[in-house]
């Protein structure tokens, strides 16, 4: 069966009422740009879990992966005077250390508190820099006696949680690679923080008010992603310790 567009495929899949993950067919893309654009466009497909899962399962074609990073730690934006804390820049400034430094944060979930080290501002995942392929921040999460790379997506009031979730998921896919075993970020971070567990996770950081809509659709996707290696969480930002608190996720 052939489809001219992703929308045709998505509509057909929805009518078939297939299992949320196991029965999703593989999609094949001829170029990295086609795959990247399709994943970015899925941010507007609220609740289309099957489409997002298919994009996650797909191989990423081409020689796209960034592998040479400089150790540019800490906050790195140069803002105009008086605009240093405007919009999402204010959250970035709160989360990241001064230029050349790491910053230790605390992420609270129920009775547990995870140490979270923010490291790299605007972390590029691909050789091209367009299409939501730059993570707002790269950090290191310590959980269950293990340290692993963490890609952080920062939002203040732009769009909604589904948009942020799909965006963060795309970046986690890029970090893990097509075979889900790419360890290039682990090796990079291992020069500064060691030892490092293979396999990046994702974290959306936003004010608590950001999560007042679209959460039912997000929970469906997060639940379906438990059958993959994709691990994403939502967190609410605070101006006091702990700086981040758990909202929703599939880190189990």
| Per-domain residue ranges of the chain | 68-249
User: What's the full length of the chain, in residues?
Assistant: 252
Report pLDDT digits (tens) over 83-95.
456 678 888 988 9
Q: How many CB atoms lie within 10 A of CB 193?
A: 16
Report pLDDT digits (tens) over 138-192.
999 988 778 899 999 999 988 999 999 999 999 999 999 877 777 888 888 876 7
Residue 217 has pLDDT above 60, yes or no: yes
Phi, psi of 22 (to 5 degrees): -60, -35
Q: How many CB atoms lie within 10 A of CB 169?
A: 28
> What whole-number distance in Å separates Cα of residue 159 and Cα of residue 157?
6
Phi, psi of 96 (to 5 degrees): -100, 150
The token duo for 45 is 């497909």
pLDDT for 2: 54
Computed over every residue of the chain, the mean pLDDT equals 85
Angle between helices 215-224 and 49-57 (to 10 degrees): 40
Q: Which residue has the higher pLDDT, 132 or 7?
A: 132
57's CB contacts (< 8 A; 6+ apart) are: 24, 26, 27, 228
Distances (CA, A) of 251 to 23, 177, 242: 23, 19, 19
What is the pTM (predicted TM-score) of this model?
A: 0.86
Report pLDDT digits (tens) over 58-71.
889 889 989 888 88
Residue 1 has pLDDT above 50, yes or no: no
């Amino acid at each position: 069966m052939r489809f001219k567009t992703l929308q045709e495929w998505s509509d057909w899949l929805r009518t078939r009422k297939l299992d949320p993950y196991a029965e999703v067919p593989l999609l094949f893309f001829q170029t990295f740009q086609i795959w990247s654009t399709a994943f970015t466009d899925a941010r507007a497909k609220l609740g289309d879990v099957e489409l997002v899962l298919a994009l996650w399962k797909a191989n990423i074609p081409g020689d796209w992966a960034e592998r040479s990073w400089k150790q540019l730690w800490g906050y790195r934006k140069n803002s105009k005077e008086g605009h240093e804390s405007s919009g999402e820049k204010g959250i970035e400034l709160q989360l990241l250390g001064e230029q050349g430094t790491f910053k230790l944060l605390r992420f609270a979930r129920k009775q547990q508190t995870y140490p979270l080290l923010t490291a790299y501002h605007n972390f590029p995942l691909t050789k091209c820099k367009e299409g939501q392929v730059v993570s707002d921040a790269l950090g290191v999460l310590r959980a269950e006696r293990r340290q692993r790379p963490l890609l952080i997506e920062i939002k203040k009031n732009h769009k909604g949680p589904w948009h942020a979730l799909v965006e963060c998921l795309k970046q986690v896919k890029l970090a893990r690679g097509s075979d889900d075993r790419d360890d290039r970020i682990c090796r990079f971070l291992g020069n500064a923080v060691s030892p490092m567990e293979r396999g990046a996770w994702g974290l959306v950081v936003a004010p608590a008010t950001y999560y007042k809509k679209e959460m039912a659709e997000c929970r469906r996707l997060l639940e379906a992603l438990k059958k993959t290696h994709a691990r994403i969480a939502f967190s609410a930002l605070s101006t006091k310790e702990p700086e981040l608190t758990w909202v929703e996720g599939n880190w189990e």
